[in-house]
């Protein structure tokens, strides 16, 4: 049965679960999951886990991400993007470029965001978007997110950076390159920057260019996957998710203990997480060395 990670370039108007459903049919595998939901209007990197690799999804969801967003100034909507109902339109100041560059630092680092009403955040057991569709608005507590890097790119369509992306050409718009933590709402970032400029702003397009350490250059379109004579050959091994951990290769006795779920005595091993392999090179587990003992965090060997 297929097992591994498929990096999909999610198309616009597909949900992340739509992609998983399609791939279940392609690979004839029920165990399919994804890391990091993308809204239907967004495109870009969606890591999909198949087979035994789904055991790794929990380690992928908390990673940092990178986006390219199109910010349109002069507009405010109820969804904080161009697909919502217009609430207000304002003239864009002539010096918008200079003023936007000046406020970038205040949106970099640890910042506070109020989750938008059109989001899957739950309050009192209800998803916010369910309340929003009923015309209700409730108080939301700000959340701390981290913007590691934020730059603005004016003019052009940045075709070299995002080939194949159908970017709309809009007046009073610029691209934002964003490297951020889990839980960051790019729509809210665009909205808040527009409010800081006094003219309003919305997200007009969004592409995720990196997630879980995987880049857009590694991603495959659904068309490519569906037409490929051997789509299983596109799968990356599950240990590629843990490439930032050092590899630890065990001999037969140590491998046997790991397969039995037994901790190993490793008094000379540095305390940290490791990718653990058996004698033949099979990826066995993600493990942690602490107090001179190597214990399994999650096993991945075939049983």
Among this protein's residues, is 95 annotated catalytic? no
Residue 154 and residue 35 in contact, taking contact as beta carbons nearer than 8 Å: no
Q: CA-to-CA distance for 201 and 91, rounded, in angstroms?
A: 11
Cα dihedral 141, 139, 61, 46, rounded to 10, equals -140
Report the interhelical angle of 96-103 vs 186-197 (nearest 10°).
120
The residue among 195, 34, 175 whose CA lies nearest residue 113 is: 195
Tokens 């070299």, located at residue = 160
Q: CA-to-CA distance for 184 and 254, rounded, in angstroms?
A: 42
Beta-bridge mates of residue 150: 178
User: What DSSP designation does 37 have?
Assistant: -
Q: How far is CA 149 from the centre of its chain?
A: 16
Q: Establish how many alpha carbons lie within 13 A of residue 283's alpha carbon, considering only the half-sphere containing its beta carbon.
A: 22
Catalytic-role residue among 13, 18, 39, 192: 39
Q: Which residues are catalytic?
A: 39
């Amino acid at each position: 049965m297929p097992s591994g990670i498929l990096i999909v370039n999610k198309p616009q108007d597909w949900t992340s679960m739509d992609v998983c459903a399609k791939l279940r049919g392609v690979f004839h595998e029920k165990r399919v999951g994804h890391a990091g939901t993308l809204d239907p209007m967004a495109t870009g990197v969606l890591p999909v886990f198949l087979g035994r690799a789904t055991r790794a999804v929990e380690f992928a969801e908390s990673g940092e991400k990178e986006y390219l967003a199109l910010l349109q100034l002069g507009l405010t909507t109820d969804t904080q993007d161009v697909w919502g109902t217009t609430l207000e339109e304002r003239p864009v100041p002539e010096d918008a470029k200079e003023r936007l560059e000046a406020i970038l630092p205040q949106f970099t680092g640890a910042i506070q965001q109020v989750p938008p009403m059109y989001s899957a955040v739950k309050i009192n057991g209800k998803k916010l978007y369910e309340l929003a569709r009923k015309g209700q608005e409730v108080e939301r507590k700000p959340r701390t997110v981290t913007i590691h890097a934020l730059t603005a790119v004016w003019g052009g369509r940045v075709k070299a950076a995002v080939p194949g992306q159908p970017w709309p050409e809009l007046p009073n718009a610029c691209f934002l390159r964003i490297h951020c933590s889990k839980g960051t709402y790019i729509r809210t970032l665009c909205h808040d920057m527009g409010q800081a400029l006094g003219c309003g702003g919305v997200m007009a397009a969004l592409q995720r260019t990196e997630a879980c350490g995987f880049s857009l250059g590694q991603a495959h379109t659904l068309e490519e996957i569906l037409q490929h004579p051997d789509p299983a050959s596109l799968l990356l091994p599950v240990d590629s998710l843990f490439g930032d951990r050092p590899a630890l290769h065990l001999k037969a006795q140590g491998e046997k203990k790991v397969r039995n779920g037994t901790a190993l005595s490793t008094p000379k091993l540095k305390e940290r997480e490791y990718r653990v392999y058996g004698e033949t090179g099979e990826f066995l587990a993600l493990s942690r060395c602490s107090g001179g003992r190597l214990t399994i965090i999650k096993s991945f060997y075939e049983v």
